[in-house]
A and B are shown apart, each in its own frame.
Chain A
Amino acid sequence: MGADALRAGGPFSFAPERSMAKQTPLYAAHLAAGAKMVDFAGWDMPIHYGSQLDEHKQVRRDAGMFDVSHMLAIDVSGAGAQAYLQHVLANDVAKLTEPGKALYSCLLNHDGGVIDDLIVYAFAHDDYRLVVNAGTADSDLAWLRRQASRLHGGNVTLTARRDLAIIAVQGPNAQAKVWAALPGSEAAAAPLQYFQAARFGDLMICATGYTGEAGYELIVPAGRAVEIWQALAAQGVAPIGLGARDTLRLEAGMNLYGQDMDDGVSPLESGLAWTVDFAGERDFIGRAALEAKPAMRALVGLLLEDRGVLRAHMPVFTEHGEGETTSGSFAPSLNASIAFARVPIGVATGDTVEVEIRGKRLKARVTQTAFVRRGKILVTPLISHP
């Protein structure tokens, strides 16, 4: 095998300098569970605990838990918090009319490129919480602070909450198992709709996730992370690594920052038009650039109809010109390979395109980006792997 073969591709790599990487409060729990640890955005994180495929299937049919404490919660408070977020976020927090409601949004630069994608939770008009990606956390914070002092001086306070840990519990049985692991939580959590959160003691229970399954993301004090992880394990919730997190989100049609969008690409060319709110005259960063530059490309799903595995950055040949895959993998729920690809406008669902893999052109069908939701397969492969 190639010298780099054992070092992996995509966003994961074996940490050459383990001692440099940051650790979450659950680091020892991962090692105890037999995790293979890798460097992810400067954090020493579990990629799997034995089999990425088994972990993927565990989440689709039962319940699994992910340590996502490398992601950063940032609290935004003060009298100017709402106006500030309406200015820095492409989606409009004015939609968050009830305490606990959440919104997915891009953080754009002045050119309309995506600095990060995030979830914003509202507790009150002067009290919000953002959860941002690990790899962009420091630069996000610097950007957010700069915008706060530039236009909203004194009215907004930003607090990076490195004292918190985040555990995502996902799968058809995830909610019931969380209620059992956290006695008394059912009353607070059961009524939550998708993209809604509630406080439960010193925890925050969020009905959000990155797998397409039901479940919660639990934002907890770092000091309680191990105790809660163990309580979930006692309910039969299996630990799931970042490897399965990636295949689960890909099947669910969810973008990964740095692969499917970045600061050089418009959200309108990244399948994220639904998250950019142009209603009214709201002056948000990036608006002018987006309005001046119509989308020429679209993010679509691809289902490989030959044998092989799609990966990121493969050339895609269509009747309307060339495109490129942004993420790709073997999809365990479909037993076939899928990808997201950025292709010229005009390419339509159902079209057949060609993807170049190691010099060979293989056939792929254009699909929606969501392949699996709530355990249901939405796109059926014609051929499948064994």
Chain B
Amino acid sequence: MSIPSNLRYAESHEWARKEPDNTLTIGITDHAQNALGDIVFIELPAVERIVKVGEEVAVIESVKAASDIYAPVAGEIIAVNTAIVDAPDTLNADPYNAWLFKIKPTNLDDIDALLDATGYAKAIDA
């Protein structure tokens, strides 16, 4: 299972990538897409929505089940990846490129509370 070392992770299986402009790009991990199976529907949040950490912001439906996606940090949704709504299977094929939304953190230090690759590998092994 791929866990890139340049990303940070939430225990609820989202990945977060810090961009040069200090925003975070969010997606779901390889482990998550594998466990969910074939993904067929994605519901994304509204741009400009203000979210709290741990708030449900998106929904991913696989053939098997619906899963909530949580905001890994508090902040404002500044962009969503509308392209994946029309190609939800790219989340299975390429989970670390098929991002869901971008968030501008209220507090940039919040990213330090997320797991690194080693920590996430341990979390999913438990």
Residues in A lying within 8 Å of B, measured CB to CB = 1-3, 5-6, 8-10, 12, 47-48, 51-53, 243, 247, 307-309, 311, 329-330, 332, 337, 358, 385-386
- Check A309–B61 contact: CB distance below 8 A: yes
Q: Which of A52, A308, A332, A386 contacts B64 (CB 8 A)?
A: A52
| Chain A residue, CB-CB nearest to B86 | A386
* Also in contact, A309 and B40, with CB within 8 A (given A10-B64, A386-B86): yes
Chain B residue with the shortest CB-CB distance to A51: B38
How far does the alpha carbon of A309 sit from the alpha carbon of B35 in the complex, in Å? 18
Within 8 A of A (CB), among B17-56: 28, 32, 35-38, 40-41, 43
* Nearest 3 pairs of A and B residues by beta carbon: A5-B67, A9-B65, A6-B35
Q: How far is the CA of A329 from the CA of B63 in the complex (A)?
A: 6
CA distance A10 to B63 in the complex (A): 11
With A9-B65, A247-B63 in contact, is A309–B14 under 8 Å at CB?
no
A–B Cβ pairs within 8 angstroms, 5 of them: A1-B69, A2-B70, A6-B32, A247-B63, A330-B63
Known pairs A2-B12, A51-B38, A330-B41; A8 contacts B64 (CB<8 A) = yes
Q: Is B13 within 8 A of A52, CB to CB? A: no
- Please determine whether A243 and B86 come into contact, CB atoms closer than 8 angstroms: no
B7 close to A (CB within 8 Å): no
Pick from B61, B65, B68, B70: contact of A8, CB below 8 A: B65
Q: A47-B64, A243-B63 are in contact. List 12 more A-B contacts (CB 8 A).
A: A1-B32, A1-B60, A5-B32, A6-B13, A6-B35, A12-B64, A243-B64, A309-B40, A309-B66, A329-B63, A358-B59, A385-B88
User: Judging by beta carbons under 8 Å apart, are B87 and A386 in contact?
Assistant: yes
Q: Is the CB of A308 within 8 A of B61?
A: yes
* A9–B36 touching, CB < 8 Å: no
Q: Report the nearest A residue to B84, measured CB to CB.
A: A386
Name the distance in Å between B60's Cβ and chain A's nearest Cβ. Answer: 7
Cβ–Cβ contact A53 & B59, under 8 A:
no
Evaluate whether A1 and B67 lie within 8 angstroms (CB atoms) in the complex, with A6-B32, A53-B38 already known: yes
Query: What is the number of contacts between chain A and chain B, taking CB atoms within 8 Å?
Result: 77
Q: How far is the CB of A356 from chain B (nearest CB, A)?
A: 13
Report how far A6 CA is from B43 CA in the complex, Å.
Answer: 18
Residues of B within 8 A of A (CB): 12-14, 28, 32, 35-38, 40-41, 43, 59-61, 63-70, 85-88
In the assembled complex, which residues on chain B have CB atoms less than 8 Å from the CB atom of A2?
12, 67-68, 70
Residues from chain A with Cβ under 8 Å of B69 in the complex: 1
CB proximity of B111 to chain A, nearest CB, Å: 19
Which single residue of chain A is at the shortest CB-CB distance from B43? A308
| Interchain CB contact under 8 A, B65 and A52 | no
Residue numbers in B under 8 Å from A51 (CB-CB): 37-38
Query: Once the chains bind, are A1 and B14 in contact (CB under 8 Å)?
Result: yes
Give every chain A residue within 8 A of B85 (Cβ-Cβ).
386
Contacting residues, chain A, for B40 (C-beta < 8 A): 53, 309, 330, 385
Q: B41 touches which one: A1, A6, A385 (CB < 8 A)?
A: A385
A16 to B116, CA, bound (A): 27
Q: Which of B28, B35, B38 contacts A52 (CB 8 A)?
A: B38
A47 to B63, CA, bound (A): 12
User: Which residues of B are found within 8 Å of A308, using beta-carbon distances?
Assistant: 41, 43, 61
Chain B: which residue is nearest A336 at the CB level? B40
Q: Which residue of A lies closest to B67 (CB)?
A: A5
Q: How far is the CA of A243 from the CA of B64 in the complex (A)?
A: 7
Cross-interface CB contact of A309 among B37, B41, B68, B87, cutoff 8 Å: B41
CB distance from A302 to the nearest CB of B (A): 16
CB distance from A309 to the nearest CB of B (A): 4
A243 & B66 in contact (Cβ 8 Å cutoff): no
Nearest Cβ in chain A — how far from B80, in angstroms?
Answer: 15
Q: Which residues of A contact B43 (CB under 8 A)?
A: 308
Find out whether the CB atom of A1 lies under 8 angstroms from the CB atom of B70: yes
Contacts of B64 in A (CB 8 A): 8-10, 12, 47, 52, 243
Residues B13 and A1 in contact, CB atoms below 8 Å apart: yes
Asked if B14 and A5 sit within 8 Å, CB to CB, the answer is no
Residue ID in chain A nearest B34 by CB atoms: A36
Q: A1 near B28 (CB under 8 angstroms)?
A: yes
The one of B12, B63, B67 in contact with A53, judged by C-beta atoms closer than 8 angstroms, is B63
In the bound complex, residues from chain B placing their C-beta under 8 Å from that of A311 are 65-66
